[in-house]
Amino acid sequence: MSCSSLQTIQASIQNFAPLPVPNRRGRKRLSTMPSNKKHMRNLTNQRAFRERRENYLRSLEIKVEKYEKAYAEQQNEIRLLKEEAAILKQRLSLFESYGFNSDFSITSSDDSKNLSPLSKNIYDLMINENKDTIELETFSIKEYDYSQFNAQKHIGNGGFSTVYSADFQGKTYALKSLNNNLCLDNGDNFKKISQELKSLYTVKHPNVIKFYGTSKHPEMGNFIMILQFANNGSLRDYLQSKQQNGVFKNSWYETIKIAEEITIGLKYLHDKGIIHQNLHSKNILINDGKALIADFGISNQINQINDTSISSSTIKIAYIEPQCFMQHEMFKRDERSDIYSLGVLLWELTSGTPPFSDSNDYAISIKIFLGEREKVIPGTPKEYSDLYINCWTSEPEKRPKLDGVLNDLKILSTETTGKFITNCIITDNQLLMQSASYSMQLSDKMPSNKNTNSCSVTDTINSDILLMSIEDKRVNRDVIINDNERIYMQDYSMFPINNDCSFSAQTSYPPLSNGNLPSFLQGFDKQLCSKNGAFSPTHSPTLIEPMDEIMNTLALS
């Protein structure tokens, strides 16, 4: 045995390690005793492997936990939905069997003493904790504690409500506070409203505003609807924000996208048997750039209850089909009525302004009745204009179905990518004219160095009166100038006065070298306006409306 073999044996014995056994070819076995380096590497590898395995196991556990949680949530949601469905079923049968007219009695509590009839009814039905009445037991619309809403900000006022934004548990909501003067105190009216609220509560769609529940103003007693907050305001505001220096500009991509979203939301409502009946650009809200349909149902019911006439202030005439003006009493509106309004909205998406914005309700209704529609905005793809023209056709049966509208929009969305729609608007100048002072003197405003002068008359009473004044100028009547050379107008009490309506228009007349009044104005009798206010003549050479157009409007109205 060689010396080195002996040393190896001795070392092995010392370390209690087995002796290396030679293999068949007489070579030493591969190391049973790893070198230090190797040993360290092995250990490192093993540790790394263990760590990887542990990490993997941990990630698996996290996943399992996540899925279990999601599963539990789903289960819970399913349970809640089942409960909700059961309650709804039960409530429906109770509502049907009871009817609100018959035995419905309001429980009087101190809390509801100072409520309006509407608030009282709904409050009693949905909010009051008294479980004695069957209705209360079966109503499960969520009630929010008003005091928990923070950072309230006023957003705007509608025909029957005031809207605020407010925070609740870190989320912003819209609070629609119904006015306390609504005549909803009889059982019949109340039945309609509660039905609407119920149906509103079941509406859940990404393109329809969500109704979360109700609340009550602690002092005023107003009934409040808690709604999803739309952070870009109404479609009207949104389109307005796309205007700059009198020019509206928007991408086709966005135009078609919003058009699609409105159509999808409307289709959802129709599929649920809900007809909107008051679709216009202030009832479409925009949240994170996405369109949501709002104000269906309850506003409609309140409108009907408070004013059976379709000229009610919350109804926007320019979006209403002609049938309503022809056979108003007998005409029953259906899905096709909404499709007419959708057509007008599709036009508005390209114009950036509301339809017939320079006419009052009366003139608009005559125009629609006579088949007049807004003009196609130059640059609109024909397929798009054809689509809305078909929607707003006077014959309801010829209006397309919503599936068809969606299909056309889908095709258009691929064809119009990257382009813009622009529309020139004169709103800024009109506003300037409307803000002109009443005390301006005509003689100060007569320039003599222009080829054409323009005399504008503006007021905020009624555009019918304006149209009359233009017509009357030709016959030297009715528009009058007082001693201070200010133009005044006679009392047109025979015409409907709509205080909300503002107007502006202008006519042109030949230039005068001496700066005097043109003869058609000089001829008027001097007489003061008795009731309707004064015209304010201003000079506005940039805005000369062709006389033909004014005459056409006159001929129509």
Ligand X SMILES: Nc1ncnc2c1ncn2[C@@H]1O[C@H](COP(=O)(O)OP(=O)(O)OP(=O)(O)O)[C@@H](O)[C@H]1O
Question: Rule CB under 6 A: which residues touch ligand X?
Answer: 155-161, 163, 174, 176, 209, 227-230, 233-234, 282-283, 285, 294-295, 299, 314
Minimum CB distance to ligand X, residue 324 (Å)? 16
Query: Reduced to 3 DSSP states, what percent helix, strand and coil does the chain have, rounded to the nearest 5?
Result: 45, 15, 40
Q: Which residues of 402-440 are buried (b: 16+ CB within 10 A; e: fewer)?
A: beebbebbeebbeebeeeebebebbeebbebbbebeeeb
**Block residue for tokens 């008294």:** 130
Alpha-carbon distance 458 to 430, whole Å? 9
Residue 519: in which H helix or E strand, if any?
Answer: helix 519-522
Minimum CB distance to ligand X, residue 296 (Å)? 10
Q: Which is nearer to ligand X, 237 or 485 (CB)?
A: 237
Minimum CB distance to ligand X, residue 154 (Å)? 9
Q: Which is nearer to ligand X, 126 or 286 (CB)?
A: 286
Alpha-carbon distance 424 to 442, whole Å? 30
Minimum CB distance to ligand X, residue 357 (Å)? 15
Minimum CB distance to ligand X, residue 364 (Å)? 16
441 contacts: CB under 8 Å, gap ≥ 6:
484, 485, 486
Angle at 112 between CA 180 and CA 297, to 5 degrees: 45
Q: Which is nearer to ligand X, 319 or 488 (CB)?
A: 319
Q: Which is nearer to ligand X, 155 or 556 (CB)?
A: 155
Q: Which is nearer to ligand X, 157 or 542 (CB)?
A: 157
CB 252 within 8 A of CB 433: no
CB 141 within 8 A of CB 213: yes
Task: Report the amino acid identity of residue 234.
Answer: S
- Helix (H/G/I), strand (E/B), else coil: 153: strand
Q: Which is nearer to ligand X, 176 or 336 (CB)?
A: 176
Which two three-digit tokens encode residue 29? 């076995």
Burial status of residue 485 (CB atoms within 10 A of its CB: 0-12, 13-18, 19 or more):
middle
Minimum CB distance to ligand X, residue 216 (Å)? 18
Residue 81: in which H helix or E strand, if any?
Answer: helix 36-98
Q: Which is nearer to ligand X, 283 or 536 (CB)?
A: 283
Q: Which is nearer to ligand X, 295 or 478 (CB)?
A: 295
Minimum CB distance to ligand X, residue 126 (Å)? 20
Minimum CB distance to ligand X, residue 52 (Å)? 51
Which two three-digit tokens encode residue 392? 């707003």
Which two three-digit tokens encode residue 48? 């790394």
Number of alpha carbons in the 13 Å side-chain half-sphere of residue 540: 24
Residue of closest CB approach to ligand X: 158
DSSP state string for 287-298: ETTEEEE-S-TH
Minimum CB distance to ligand X, residue 175 (Å)? 9
Angle at 105 between CA 103 and CA 109, to 5 degrees: 165
Alpha-carbon distance 269 to 334, whole Å? 12
Minimum CB distance to ligand X, residue 400 (Å)? 26
Q: Which is nearer to ligand X, 268 or 319 (CB)?
A: 319
**Block residue for tokens 């555009």:** 463
Task: Report the amino acid identity of residue 121.
Answer: N
Q: Was 176 annotated as part of a binding site?
A: yes
**Phi and psi at residue 59, in whole multiples of 5°?**
-65, -35
Q: How far apart, in Å, are the Cα atoms of 270 and each of 277, 335, 401, 496?
A: 11, 7, 11, 36
Strand ranges, E, within 334-425: 420-424
Minimum CB distance to ligand X, residue 212 (Å)? 10
Q: Which is nearer to ligand X, 37 or 154 (CB)?
A: 154
SS (H, E, C) 140-189: CCCECCHHHCEEEEEEEECCCEEEEEEEECCEEEEEEEECCCCCCCCHHH
Q: Which is nearer to ligand X, 176 or 276 (CB)?
A: 176
Q: Which is nearer to ligand X, 96 or 500 (CB)?
A: 500
Minimum CB distance to ligand X, residue 111 (Å)? 25
Q: Which residues of 295-317 are buried (b: 16+ CB within 10 A; e: fewer)?
A: bbbbbbbbbebbeeebbbebbbb
CB 282 within 8 A of CB 357: no
Provide the annotated binding site for ATP. Answer: 176
